[in-house]
Structure 1
Amino acid sequence: GSKRKRLVSIYHAESNTVSRILVTMPEYKLMYFNTMGHGEIIRWIFAYGGIPYKDERLTREEFDKIKSSIKGGKLPILMVDDKQLPQSLAIARFVAKKARIVPEDDWESALIDALADSLHEMLFDLYKLRQTIPDYNEYVGKVRDEFFPKSIAPIAQALDERMKDRQWYTGDKLTWGDLIIGRAFAEMYNRQPEMLKKFTHLVSHMQKVCEMPAIKKWIETRPESPF
């Protein structure tokens, strides 16, 4: 199809003039299942950055048909024009750079990478547990009694401490780290608020992220999908 173009102004300091040029924008397509899972943080970043993309949600049958052509044979995959980028955190970081919410400072950037890895592992273990326990009430009981104290509470406690006297996770500007925190804890809080209620700084930070106009709109208008 025809490529999207964007008008960009370029300032030339030596001649004190501005020229305007049309820049070709890549076409983005996120391929994942109709679930939040490992694709949802990417969708949040696209929403926050106001970056147009196609949110393609495949059935298992549709995925099986194209699996052999997918890098690594797993979803999510981000199509950038005709190139494939695999791995959810690599995709999230790539889109976050486009949205300009990756810190320039190397240390701050590394802290967010570490946060992303921790929360990714936490959510992955939660999904795995959910798949092994079909009964929802039994699953919630197992999370509350065993998984939460061991695997979620220590992370929530550390984040609660960190957010006590900070506006954002690093420095004084929102980064994709803040979106990860919002994404990782929002569903949990909506379904089982009593688990997180003692982590007041974490909860208020998560709520602040979810109330940002672009994120709020995404949450309100996104397709219905399971955890």
Structure 2
Amino acid sequence: MAPAYKLIYGDYRGVAETSRFLFKYGGIEFEDARVQFEDWPQWKEKTPFGQLPLLEHNGKQINQSIAIARYLANLVKLAGNDDWENLEIDSIVDTVSDIRQKLVPIGREQDQIRRKTLIDTLIKDSFSYHLPRLEAIVEKNNGYLALGRLTWADFYFATISPMFDAITGQDCLANYPKLKAVRDKVNELPAIKKWIETRPASDFDVILTFSSVIREHSFAIQLNTQMAPKYKLTYFDGCGVAETSRFLFNYGGIDFEDVRIKQEDWPQLKPKTPFGMVPLLEHNGKQVGQSIAIARYLAKKLKLAGNDDWEDLEIDAVVNTVQDLYQKLAPLYYEKDESKKKALIETAQKETIPYYLPRFEELVKKNKGYLALGRLTWADFYFATMSPTFDVLTGRDNLAKYANLKGLMEKVNGLPAIKKWIEVRPKTQF
């Protein structure tokens, strides 16, 4: 009998290896389908968004590597025991993913002199900043990256960190014995050790075509309450990636302190944050970053998540794909050269937007006016808060030709609590 799960990816480790580790750890049989490079052009158009890995189960097909790994982690009991614990894990995973995405320019650079410069910058800026903080987190968590026990955050780090070494040509964990121990601990688990010994060998074990993560600024509004709110959300004075969480707080009627940072104050605040990034959510003396992880946590509290792990996977796949589109458009904001910016906008308008939006349009049509599960979920909130940024960056109404997506936007923005929030929030470009 064919296995219940089929994982499709290239013939190398890359971002699918976390899921392979989880399948093996849990003793879950799966078909490890590997697409050869020469066959990818024929495969690409058959995928939902031209990406791998894909997970197939019960006639359904889902993409996005982290979303798939999260689903499997729930199956094999390597996730959190409650929503906050899952948020802590997600925050670590997304931070490690941030580091991975910084490898993009190096993987693509053919000029060896420029490549060396990029590697030196990566080691000096990103590795020297992030790795000591991750090392400290492991020390705090009894030898693990979260919750003081083995979680899928450890699996993710163990499968992704070898990319750091492969791209830079160095042992990037040499000065971080606790992080190295995390990787060794995962690799020595009996099922994982056996997999490492028997898995297919490949000359191309590191995927080099990552997406860049460029975070926009978001805004907040200070709420006046007699009692301090249980939640504090800190971000910049703009819309951007924290707006989804603001929508969710307002939709659920959850009181929160909405703190806005002025640009001139950021240099003083940055060293006080876990990874030099915002948004940050504070609750019960704990502080957690990563915008999507925070939104997912809030969505679960508000019943805007899935009813089971597979439904959560469907939502996560949509959210991460919207994020992919955002990351492709974000360079438009930072490009100062007008001729280069014009070329980037033209590419976005002729290639990027026409690739993604028709596919999102079909999803909404298929899901009875929503992006997933045939009902309102936080995927709809994420799209509704991110798509205005796409319009600002490209200088056009990108949803003009997509009636279903425009209807979705109107549906979310027309929710009473959201409509009220839009009316009172500060007016900013992003």
Range into which the TM-score falls when normalised by the shorter chain: 0.7 to 0.9
Supply the RMSD in Å over aligned alpha carbons: 2.4
List structure 1 segments (4+ residues) > 6 angstroms apart after TM superposition: none
How many residue pairs get aligned? The number is 200
C-alpha distance in 1 between matches for 2:371 and 2:379: 7
CA contact (8 A) 2:400 2:406 kept: yes
Helix, strand or coil at the partner of 1:40: helix
Helix, strand or coil at the partner of 2:364: helix
Q: 1:189 to 1:171 in 2, by over 3 A?
A: same
CA contact (8 A) 2:364 2:372 kept: no
Structure 2 residues not aligned, in runs of 5+: 1-227
**Greater strand content:** 1
Q: 1:132 to 1:144 in 2, by over 3 A?
A: closer
TM-score, normalised with respect to structure 1: 0.78
CA contact (8 A) 2:232 2:283 kept: yes
C-alpha distance in 2 between matches for 1:43 and 1:31: 11
Tell whether 2:386 aligns with 1:184.
yes
CA contact (8 A) 2:329 2:390 kept: no
Q: 1:196 to 1:26 in 2, by over 3 A?
A: closer
Match of 1:208 in 2: 411
* Aligned amino acid, residue 173 of structure 1: R
Residue deviations 1:162-202 (CA, integer Å, cap 9, x gap): 21241322234311011112112245458622x33221111
Q: 1:26 to 1:196 in 2, by over 3 A?
A: closer
Match of 1:41 in 2: 244
TM-score, normalised with respect to structure 2: 0.43
Match of 1:159 in 2: 360
CA contact (8 A) 1:41 1:92 kept: yes
C-alpha distance in 1 between matches for 2:316 and 2:409: 18
> 1:157: how far off?
0.7
CA contact (8 A) 2:231 2:283 kept: yes
* Pairs within 5 Å for 1:1-227: 27-133=230-336, 141-142=342-343, 144-165=345-366, 166-188=368-390, 192-193=396-397, 195-227=398-430
Helix, strand or coil at the partner of 2:275: helix
Q: 1:226 to 1:81 in 2, by over 3 A?
A: farther
CA contact (8 A) 2:369 2:404 kept: no
Match of 2:140 in 1: none
Q: 1:180 to 1:134 in 2, by over 3 A?
A: farther
Q: 1:138 to 1:224 in 2, by over 3 A?
A: farther
Identity %: 32
Q: Which structure carries more relative contact order (alpha carbon 8 Å, separation 6+)?
A: 1
C-alpha distance in 2 between matches for 1:213 and 1:77: 26
Helix, strand or coil at the partner of 1:196: coil
Structure 1 or 2, whichever has the larger Rg, is 2
Residue deviations 1:75-127 (CA, integer Å, cap 9, x gap): 11111132111111111111111222111222221121122112223223433
Structure 1 residues not aligned, in runs of 5+: 1-24
Q: 1:133 to 1:212 in 2, by over 3 A?
A: farther
* Aligned amino acid, residue 384 of structure 2: G
Residue deviations 1:54-77 (CA, integer Å, cap 9, x gap): 110101332221222211111111
More off after superposition, 99-108 vs 116-125? 116-125
